[in-house]
Structures are given as C-alpha cells and as structure tokens.
Amino acid sequence: MKVGTEGRTCDVDVVGRIHSTESFGTVDGPGTRFVVFCQGCPMRCQYCHNPDTWEFARADGTGPGTSVSVGELLERYERNRPFYRTGGITVTGGEPMAQPDFVAALFRAAHAAPAGRIHTCLDTSAATFSAQRADRFSELLDATDMVLLDIKTADPALHETLCGLPASHALELGDELARRKVPTLVRHVVVPGITDSEEECAAVGRIIGNWDNVVGLDFLPYHTLGRAKYEKLGIAYPLEGVEAMSPARAKELRAVALRARAQRRAERGR
C-alpha cells in the first residue's frame, strides 16, 4: 500500500511496536498533537514515569506492546485532523530511535499525507544514536521537522548512574542536529539533590550554547506521579524519599542555564 502527494510515495505497511497513543497531546511539541509511544527503551532512568515502556518485544513478536502499521497510525490521526491544525505527530517512548526504520516510514508518510503535510516531531533521549552510526538514522532525521532532545545531566559519571548509559549518545545527536539545522527543543528534568545544582544547570546551558539550532529549553520539575506504575509492575521505585521539585525552583535553575548558554554563545561570537 502506498500513499503520496506531489510525486512522493512511501510505504505505509511498515510495522512497528508501540505501547499506546494519545489523541490530544499538548506538551509534546507545537500545538495539539497525535502522540505515539513506542515500546522498548535501553535506558533505565531513575525518574522515568513510563517504566511500562521499557521492555522490548521478543523476536517472535510476543511480549509487551502492540504491533501497528504506519497506515493504521495515519488513519487514527486523520480521524481528528481538524484539531491538529497547528500541531502534528510526535513519536516518543520508550525510545523511538530504537525503531528508526518504522519512525522514518511514519514521518515520510506524514509528510506525504493526501489531505496535507503533517508536521513531525521526535521526542528522544538518543539512547541508540552514535556519531559512528549516524548514517543508520539519516532517513529518520531527514523526515523529522523538530526534535525534543532530553539532556539528562551534563556529568558523564552521573549520567551512567542515573540512566544506565553514557551521556555521549545525546551529546552526539545534539551535534548532528546542529549540523543539520534541525529545530531542537532541549529538555532537562530537575531532580532535587541529583540534577538541581547551579553548577549542573550551568553546564547544561554551556552544552546547548554550542548548538545554534536550539529553539527552546524546558526545565521539567521532577514529580512522583509515575510511582504507582512501579508498584503495579513490582519494581522498586529508585528515588523513594525524593520530594517533587517545585516549579518555581525549576524556573530559577532554568534562568541559570540560559545565562550560561548566552555566555557560551558570546564566546563563540553568536
């Protein structure tokens, strides 16, 4: 099955593994959006509020999540298209970059939709990306209009403790997005006693000061709303006893990061 406009064609029979979808997302990119949650993530972030998306399906197709085609997802989008005039489709996770061919096919199909081009947004921690394997993700990034990039921490040692993987994945993707000039919104979760020092936040600001494609910076205050999911899954909650971060303090720390970003840009003559 093919779909296309203006001479473009793309395969909508490509199948991926998803956890769920949300019809009216308002915090996952510009406007109101159709949000696809991929199943499977190699990271184990201690503050993750979606531990039910961690496990990958087995090779025989059994296990967590649901197999769905690009065409099926577009059909769901089209049912509510009038509500998405200033929005589009966001793919998040889990980790969407663990299924680059599927997400690339979905984004190409979105761009070629018969009823009109659909804006595409990738929400990622870059857990499977590396500069050495950048070509593996080229088709996906070619079809991505905007990226929401999670920077967990600027401290490499802390990153491995907090998330189970090196910080280099996100930093190398950030460099690649800057090279490609892909509009990128950087997100940083502020966890009391872990990622909330002014030094840490300034370091995040200096990192994004190297990327001229960054269109915004969100400092997301840590919350405990995902704790019930851990209990349901029988998983010990890693941050037991850590209190939620106040939005006011997160706002103050964001200002610290923005000042550091501005200083770094000035050093670069930007």
**Does a structural domain hold residue 201?**
no
Check whether 12 has a pLDDT greater than 80.
yes
User: Residue 2: its pLDDT value, please?
Assistant: 53
Check whether 1 has a pLDDT greater than 70.
no
Long-range contacts of 62-65 (CB under 8 A, 24+ apart): 64/19, 64/39, 65/17, 65/18, 65/19, 65/39, 65/40
Q: What is the mean pLDDT of residues 197-224?
A: 97
Q: Which of 107, 109, 110 is nearest to 118 (CA)?
A: 110
Q: What is the mean pLDDT of residues 153-182?
A: 97
Q: What is the mean pLDDT of residues 225-231?
A: 89
**Does a structural domain hold residue 148?**
yes
**Does a structural domain hold residue 232?**
yes
pTM: 0.94
pLDDT per position as a tens digit, 66-83: 999 999 999 999 999 999
User: Residue 134: its pLDDT value, please?
Assistant: 97
Check whether 7 has a pLDDT greater than 50.
no
User: Residue 8: its pLDDT value, please?
Assistant: 43
User: Residue 3: its pLDDT value, please?
Assistant: 52
Is residue 118 within 8 A of residue 70, CB to CB? The reply is no
**Does a structural domain hold residue 254?**
no
Is residue 57 within 8 A of residue 63, CB to CB? The reply is yes
Question: How far, in Å, are 48, 70, 128, 163, 172 from residue 52 at the CA level?
Answer: 10, 22, 19, 16, 27
- Give the chain's domain count: 1
Check whether 184 has a pLDDT greater than 70.
yes
Q: What is the mean pLDDT of residues 239-248?
A: 95
**Does a structural domain hold residue 68?**
yes
Confidence of residue 58 (pLDDT cuts 50, 70, 90): confident
User: Residue 63: its pLDDT value, please?
Assistant: 87
Instruction: Kindly tell me the burial class for residue 261, based on how many C-beta atoms sit within 10 Å of its own C-beta (0-12, 13-18, 19 or more).
Output: buried
Q: What whole-number distance in Å separates Cα of residue 227 and Cα of residue 55?
A: 17
Confidence of residue 221 (pLDDT cuts 50, 70, 90): very high
Mean pLDDT of the chain: 94
Is residue 12 within 8 A of residue 2, CB to CB? The reply is yes
Is residue 150 within 8 A of residue 170, CB to CB? The reply is yes
**Does a structural domain hold residue 15?**
yes
CATH number at residue 148: 3.20.20.70
Q: What whole-number distance in Å separates Cα of residue 220 and Cα of residue 236?
A: 23
pLDDT per position as a tens digit, 39-48: 999 999 999 9
Q: What is the mean pLDDT of residues 157-185?
A: 97
Q: What is the mean pLDDT of residues 117-127?
A: 98
Q: What is the mean pLDDT of residues 242-268?
A: 97
Check whether 10 has a pLDDT greater than 80.
no
User: Residue 5: its pLDDT value, please?
Assistant: 44
**Does a structural domain hold residue 204?**
no
**Does a structural domain hold residue 231?**
yes
Quote the domain boundaries for residue 18: 2-186+221-247
3-state SS, residue 10: strand
Q: What is the mean pLDDT of residues 247-259?
A: 98
